[in-house]
Chains A and B, each alone.
Chain A
Amino acid sequence: MQSELIKDQTRRYFFQQCWSGVGLVGLASLLNDQLFAEPTDPMAPKPPQFAPKAKRVIFLNMSGGPSQLELFDYKPKLIEMHGKPIPKSVVGDQRYAFINPESPLFGTQRKFHRYGECGMEISDLLPHTASIADEIALVKSCHTDLFNHAPAELFMNTGSGRPGRPSMGSWVTYGLGSEARGLPGFVVLHSTARGWNPGIQGGASCWSSGFIPSTYQGVVLRNQGDPVLFLSNPKGVDVQVQRDTVSAVNRFNQHRLEVTGDPEIATRIASFETAYRMQSVAPEVCDITREPKHILEMYGAPPGRASFANNVLLARRLIEHGVRFINVYHKGWDHHGTDPNQGLITTNLEEVCKDVDQACGALIKDLKQRGMLQDTLVVWGGEFGRTPMGQAPRPNHPLEFQGRDHHPNAFTVWLAGGGIKGGQTIGETDELGFHVVKDAVHVHDLQATVLYLLGLDHTKLTYKYMGRRFRLTDVSGEVVKKLLA
């Protein structure tokens, strides 16, 4: 590791990054090719392995597991069989987190229509998403390995159900670096639906860099205080004092570099300069009030409160400034129907759909009008789906369904933008929506596809640790060819 990091300095890095106010006289003399032959600042942009279709990713993580049966996967047979027990032949020996596998089936009460030229079937809960039907590829055949929140969220983000592996954003910035100047390359945004405790279940492990250097870990932009941790100058330190301090630190560091010859000091100097720049750039980029009124209205993003819509708009501003990978979490999709205040698939699902729908539609349209949709990949999805069987608020009233349990066998995600063939629906589930019957897409397949679109081969983007070459997709994953434009 030490050696890999020691190599992490370069002449190019110096001239690109390390430049501003401080006079580093004498540095040039140290920059002989021998000393700095090996490339790269760890976050400097790196070429992909092959021509990419997308340059950046916005991953809209619907934390809790949205019900595909209320939103995308319309099942008339399920409605017909409402209240009947699910046939044993369908369930097999599937286990569930909370319900009894023999629970009765629950037909949706939502109305579905066909939208766009492609005639994509979408529920009445998502009118704005329906308006971008021709841009998105709907995958109804996703499936995962895990049926509890934390492990399934980790699986979606890191390819493993146990904490400790690098997350997708870490892999991507490790592979491609970032073009963002004065901003982190991998950013995490989060919001919570009304009535839910904040905090996604997988926690910081979902954007952890695991065993690869912490440079690649996701940086959470905060909804309170500084948008980036420790971004503001402390009390008693104004901009000028900060500039003077950073300059002095770097002069002393450069002096020490001359004495010791340790190029790691050069990286430290660059880090301080980037940090200083981040202090002026990040607050400006994070300030969505700089957006015109019509854009704020388009997203449904009233500035000044933490919301998914604000975060999506912020994500768009961040990618404009070169950020490589963004996770936008919205928690509040875990509709079991057992908690009358938050978990009802009737009223509460409608609320959380309203939280996200308009901003999702706006994001795609806005990216398109800015010419950025073609090389920005947008992914929408949760960690698993929900069961065709119902769950009721009271155990003695099995037919008063208000929700559904976690379902790993089938769920729906959509993708749009860079390299995605929009206006198509991929995959099918059986007539009860229980199993995938056509074009199954495993989470590792989805991850392989995201990397592929960025010009990275998921089997070749590896990091050797504990004697093994680890990768995002563990030991499986195939690029989903049907998704590609």
Chain B
Amino acid sequence: MTGFGRTLGIALLAALPVLGQQNPEADRFFEMKIRPLLRNNCVGCHNDQKPTSGLSLESLGGVRNGGNRGPVAVPGKPEESRIIQAVEYNGALKMPPPGKLQDDQIADLKHWVELGMPWPDEQAAHAAAKRKGVDHWAFKAPVRYDPPKVRDGAWVRNPIDNFILARLEKEGWKPSPEADRVTLIRRLSLDLLGLPPSPAEVDQFVADRRPDAYERLVDRMLASPHYGEKWGRHWLDAARYADTNGFGFDNPRVMWRYRDWVIQALNQDMPFDEFTVKQLAGDLLPNASVNDKIATGFQRNTMINQEGGVDQEQYRIEAIFDRVATTGSVWLGLTIGCAQCHDHKYDPISQREYYELFAFFNNQEEPVMRVVPQADVERYRRITADFQVEKLKIEERIAARNAGLVDRMIAWEKGLTTEQRAKLPGNVQDILKIPPEKRELAQVEDLEKYYNEEDEQYQDLLHQREILIAAPSSRNPNQYTAMVLEEREQPRKSYVLIRGDFLKHGVEVTPGTPAVLPPLEAAHAYPTRLDLARWLVSPRNPLTSRVMVNRIWQHYFGRGIVKTSEDFGTQGEPPSHPELLDWLATEFVRDGWHLKALHRLIVTSATYRQSSNVTPDMRDRDPEDILMERAPRYRVDAEVVRDIGLAASGLLNPEIGGPSVFPPQPPGITDLSRGNMPWIVATGKDRYRRGMYTFWKRTSPYPSLLVFDEPTADTTTVRRTRSNSPMQALTTLNDEAFVEVARALAARVLREAPPDDSGRLRYAFRLCLARDPDAWEKDSLATTFETLLQRYRQEPGEARALEPAGVREDAPRFAAWFGVARMLLNLDETITRE
């Protein structure tokens, strides 16, 4: 017996509690020791739904009733209790059947019977949990507060500012002054499009003296197709989008049509409720279109384990676990996944409720659908025909090689010298020792396998075929597919899985939603994913709108109003501005769930337009800027780090959508993971696509994106980390892809800038930072250029290595421009949103 149990025993003996009576300490003992023990070992068979031998050990009622053979225990008398005899493996009845419990578990059970079998009243306990839940702010419907009154009314541009300023004024603080126009256009451009503004766009905005110049700029940007890319990428984090299956055999998959669906939906400003319904249950909509089905790709972003010898059912269930957890985090801001193995420790979600949610996702097939848009029909047919020809060509070469193989092998065997034989693998030598006519087929086949493997040309042919079939190339007809969900006619049965083990079924469950939230309204007796989706975006759901506006807020301000944007439960951080959160959430729904309107509201606020400069005083009183006394200043996301360089250098290929691409990465990166997929570096325009189109291989992600915290996409991410490390510095300094950008930037400056050094330095600076250099920076740029020029004049060999193609500048001067460009691209400010 454990020390805990023993102390308790002494304390309780005097009281001799009776079955069902309440006693907090006995309850604790029960909850810590007995309930988990029963649940993990007994309830799988003895539950209320399916009481094997008439016995349920799942509830107080069940224990009271006993089983088909009568009472299960005599309270206070373990030695007379059948349950104890059974677990001790004393008589004919040995429980649990798979194996005897541990000694200390048996001791706990005995002790529990000795104590009179205390069992906390289930209903009382559940009611208490529910009360706790109902009291929690996030489970109550948002209230639309009136924007509070403020003293400095002139500062306010929209109601957001009332909430922010009122709070600041309460502290006696003032907001920061508005950022200058150049900072504002760069901030807006990075925030809304993920791209820096061109010098021409900056000049235009700075010169625009109309009173609504800023609002016009915002509208122009919201109408840009790059908006869908920038905000689509945030959504793809949550969707755990990737281009491979994950796990050991990390093979390519065709998922980009889903990615493009997201970009398009956002660009069309599809209302968020519709956006939600399509991704959860587009296939179940009446007359579902091809696009509606593609949207269900959200659910197919789960990993697939293709390792030999895996139990497919195990990983089908794993994928559903992931879907439940993802739905919880992305829409409800709840850590529902915690209830997979046991009732949620902090939030009112029981394990059973978890499996009721699970049941929604347990009723589908996971097919690959052919998608050939009308405009592509001809192209598709050509590609398919070409592909078949290519495949046939390789197969013909394979067949040609295999013709006469038998004779060649005989000749090979005859030609082997004794020394050559001695060097062969042991099993091959053994087979060769058998006279040919006495060999079995299997032995001959082993021999052939060895012979084939030694033939490099043949192996190369096989490899070519493999690549042709699997390669994620735009010339492969497999790109005309999408991974989707499809509901089964006959629902699968769902069970509580004991401790999340897919082999241990507990009670059967049907689809349902947690009791702490408003009830589900289902069209049929057996609710579907479509009902779940509609429930998520029902105006009565207190969480979804709050969770979504909070996440949008987080992407702008680096921190959500609820900092723990993934957890609105009782363990999450309370909101810094609860009334503002509720106002935004209700405004979002009132306005028809339009994301563009929400973006416009936020970025046109005075709060958003503040300067991000910080004084030691400000840092001292509010280091995290919780009260938003200033705008945040932070390093941009991984993809944007890449995109800024591409845009500044003029290399950027702004094409939107399509199959994922393979920009340069050092050789050997994918060797450390499996999956037969060559990284054939793009040589044409695809080399310069935005970071978000880079082929994402889960087990060997693109290094220069990973180093800047792009999530690996194994599970949902609603909040990225933002690290700052020497490996990042090495990447931007030395990665060939960044060096290429620096060379292109130098060439662009020489091509486009006024032909004097100071004009060129200013232009290069503005391409990277948008603003003009200040006096110190002007001097320092000139000094840097001179220093590098001197250096390259001394070492013309180094300069020539930079191969200035098509530039009318001598090698050392070009090299010095390259050096300046590279320096600018490496500045903190270049990859920072101020």
Stretch touching chain B among A93-101, A123-131, A296-304, A443-451? A93-101
B733 contacts A242, CB within 8 Å? yes
Which A residues, 197 to 240, have Cβ-Cβ distances below 8 Å to chain B?
Answer: 197-205, 208, 211-215, 217, 219-220, 222-226, 228-238, 240
With an 8 Å Cβ cutoff, the count of chain A residues facing the other chain is 106
Which residues of A sit under 8 angstroms from B318, Cβ to Cβ? Answer: 162
* Cβ contact of A6, chosen from B337, B564, B624, cutoff 8 A: B624
Contact B672 A275 (CB under 8 A): no
For B799, the closest partner residue in chain A by CB is A236
Q: With contacts A151-B247, A213-B723 known, is A230 near B698, CB below 8 A?
A: no
Asked if B248 and A150 make an inter-chain contact with CB atoms under 8 angstroms apart, the answer reads yes
Residues of B within 8 A of A208 (CB): 712
Q: Which of B310, B446, B566, B700 touches A203 (beta carbons < 8 Å)?
A: B700
* Set of chain A residues within 8 Å of B31, measured between Cβ atoms: none
B726 contacts A274, C-beta separation under 8 Å: yes
Q: Which of A219, A259, A263 meets B727, CB within 8 Å?
A: A219
CB of B428 within 8 A of CB of A35, answer: no
Judge whether B270 is part of the interface by a CB distance below 8 angstroms. Answer: no
List residues of B (225-255) whose CB comes within 8 Å of A's CBs.
Answer: 246-250
A252 CA to B779 CA in the complex, in Å?
A: 11
Instruction: Select the residue from A34, A225, A466 with max chain B CB neighbours within 10 A.
Output: A466
Looking across the interface, which residue of chain B has its beta carbon closest to that of A212? B721
A260 touches B726 (CB 8 A): no
Whether B671 lies near A278 (C-beta < 8 A) is no
A164 at the interface (CB under 8 A from B): yes
CB atoms of A231 and B725 under 8 A apart: no
Q: Quick one: which of B248, B674, B722, B731 contacts A1, CB cutoff 8 A?
A: B722
A264 to B619, CA, bound (A): 12
Given A1-B719, A260-B612, A466-B567, residue A245 in contact with residue B733 (CB < 8 A): yes
Whether B735 lies near A249 (C-beta < 8 A) is no
Write out the residue numbers on chain B whose beta carbons fall within 8 Å of the beta carbon of A203: 248, 250, 672-674, 698-700
Residues of B within 8 A of A6 (CB): 623-624
- 8 Å CB interface, B680-739 against A: 698-701, 703, 706-709, 712, 714-715, 717, 719-731, 733-736, 739
CA distance A214 to B442 in the complex (A): 50
CA distance A406 to B248 in the complex (A): 15
Stretch at the interface among A66-74, A338-346, A477-485: A338-346
Residues in A with CB closer than 8 Å to B619 are 34-35, 261, 263
Using Cβ atoms and an 8 Å threshold, which residues of chain B touch A269? 828
Query: CA separation between A27 and B666, bound complex, in Å?
Result: 37
B633 touches A260 (CB 8 A): yes
Q: Which of A35, A151, A241, A267 has the most CB of B within 10 A?
A: A241
A467 pairs with B567, CB closer than 8 A: yes
Q: What is the 8 Å Cβ interface bit string for chain B, positions 783-809, against chain A (1 contact, 0 not)? A: 010011001100100110110000000
A261 in contact with B614 (CB, 8 Å): yes
Give complex CA distance A341, B826 in Å.
50
Cβ 8 A contact of B819, one of A8, A204, A241: A241
Instruction: Tell whether, in the assembled complex, residue A341 and residue B780 are in contact, meaning their CB atoms are under 8 Å apart.
Output: no
- In the complex, B546 has a CB within 8 A of chain A: no
Give the complex CA separation of A393 and B450 in angstroms: 14
- A34 and B672 within 8 A (CB): no
Once A97-B309, A271-B728, A468-B335 are accepted as A-B contacts, the answer to whether A245 and B826 lie under 8 Å apart by CB is yes
Contact call A205/B623, Cβ cutoff below 8 A: no
Q: Which residue of A lies closest to B818 (CB)?
A: A236
| Residue among A5, A184, A199, A259 facing the most chain B CB atoms (10 A cut-off) | A199
Q: Which of B300-308, B364-372, B381-389 contacts A (4 or more CB under 8 A)?
A: B300-308
The CA-CA distance from A258 to B58 in the complex, in Å, is: 65
Q: CA separation between A201 and B698, bound complex, in Å?
A: 12
A residues within 8 A CB of B567? 466-467
B435 at the interface (CB under 8 A from A): no
The answer to whether B733 and A230 have CB atoms under 8 Å apart is: yes
Q: Which of A347-371 contact B (CB under 8 A)?
A: 347
Residues in B neighbouring A261, C-beta threshold 8 A: 613-616, 619
List A residues 148-193 near B (Cβ within 8 Å).
148-151, 162-164, 184, 190
Q: Does B286 contact A (CB under 8 A)?
A: no
CA distance A249 to B829 in the complex (A): 10
A193 CB to nearest chain B CB (Å) = 14
A2-B634, A204-B672 as given contacts; A245 in contact with B426, CB under 8 Å: no
Q: How far is the CB of A99 from chain B (nearest CB, A)?
A: 9
Q: Which residue of A lies closest to B794 (CB)?
A: A240
A42, A93, A150, A256 interface centre (most CB from chain B within 10 Å):
A150
Bound: A220/B672 CA distance, A: 9
Provide the bound-state CA to CA distance between A226 and B425, in Å: 35
**Interface residues as binary, B761-799 with A (CB distance below 8 Å gives 1, 0 otherwise):** 000000000000000110010001001100110010011
Which label, helix, strand, loop or mixed, suits the secondary structure of the B interface? loop
CB contacts (< 8 Å) of A200 on chain B: these are 672-673
Check: B527 CB closer than 8 A to any chain A CB.
Answer: no
Q: Mark A69-83, 1 if CB is under 8 A from B, else 0.
A: 000000000000000
For the complex, what is the distance from the CA of A242 to the CA of B714, rounded to whole Å? 37
Flag A394-425 by CB within 8 Å of B: 1 or 0 each. 10110000000010000000000000000000
Give the interface centre of A34, A149, A197, A223 by most chain B CB atoms within 10 Å. Answer: A149
Q: Given A150-B247, A150-B248, A203-B699, do A211 and B614 touch, yes or no (CB 8 Å)?
A: no
B427 to chain A: closest CB distance in Å? 4
How many Å lie between the Cα of A267 and that of B724 in the bound state? 7
Q: Which A residues are in CB contact (< 8 Å) with B613?
A: 259-261
- Whether A341 contacts B335 by the Cβ 8 Å rule is no
Closest A residue to B706 by CB, please name it.
Answer: A214
Q: Which residue of A148, A163, A253, A275 contacts B307 across the interface (Cβ within 8 Å)?
A: A148
* Residue contact A97 to B721, C-beta cutoff 8 Å: no
Q: How far is the CA of A235 from the CA of B777 in the complex (A)?
A: 27
Residue of A nearest to B801 (CB): A236
Asked whether, in the complex, the Cβ of A198 is within 8 Å of the Cβ of B671, the reply is yes
Whether A163 and B623, one on each chain, are in contact in the complex, defined by CB atoms closer than 8 angstroms, is no
Contacts of A3 in B (CB 8 A): 559, 623-624
Complex CA distance for A2 and B307, rounded to whole angstroms:
38
B667 proximal to A (CB < 8 A): yes
- Residues on A with C-beta less than 8 A from B670 are 199
Cβ contact within 8 Å between A341 and B453: yes
Which of A164, A231, A235, A262 meets B633, CB within 8 Å? A262
Task: Give bound CA distance, A279 to B780, whole Å.
Answer: 25
A241 and B329 within 8 A (CB): no
Complex Cα gap A226–B727 (Å): 13
A251 within 8 A of B: yes
Set of chain B residues within 8 Å of A147, measured between Cβ atoms: 309
Return B673 CB to nearest CB of chain A, in Å: 4
A190→B669 CA distance, assembly (Å): 13
Query: 0/1 per residue, B591-633, Cβ < 8 Å to A?
Result: 0000000000000000000001111100110011000000011
Contact B248 A201 (CB under 8 A): yes
> A260 with B826: in contact, given A267-B724, A275-B730, A406-B309 (CB under 8 Å)?
no
A272 at the binding interface (Cβ < 8 Å): yes
* B308 adjacent to A222 (CB under 8 Å): no
Is there contact, CB below 8 Å, between A214 and B305? Answer: no
Is A248 located at the chain interface by the 8 A CB criterion?
yes
Query: How long is the Cα–Cα vector from A26 to B247 in the complex, in angstroms?
Result: 50
Contact B667 A2, beta carbon cutoff 8 Å: no
Complex interface: chain A residues within 8 A of B329 (CB): 466
CA distance A209 to B427 in the complex (A): 43
Judge if A246 is at the interface, Cβ distance under 8 Å.
Answer: yes
Partner of B724, one of A184, A224, A251, A264: A264
Q: Please report the C-alpha to C-alpha distance between residue A260 and residue B572 in the assembled complex, in whole angstroms.
A: 32
Residues of B within 8 A of A252 (CB): 777, 780, 823, 827, 829
Say whether B211 faces chain A, with CB atoms less than 8 Å apart.
Answer: no
A-B contact pairs, 15 of them (CB 8 A): A3-B624, A7-B623, A147-B309, A150-B249, A150-B307, A164-B715, A184-B727, A213-B721, A231-B730, A245-B822, A248-B780, A249-B826, A271-B726, A393-B442, A394-B442
9 A-B pairs closest in CB distance: A203-B699, A97-B309, A150-B248, A467-B567, A201-B248, A203-B673, A164-B714, A467-B335, A275-B729
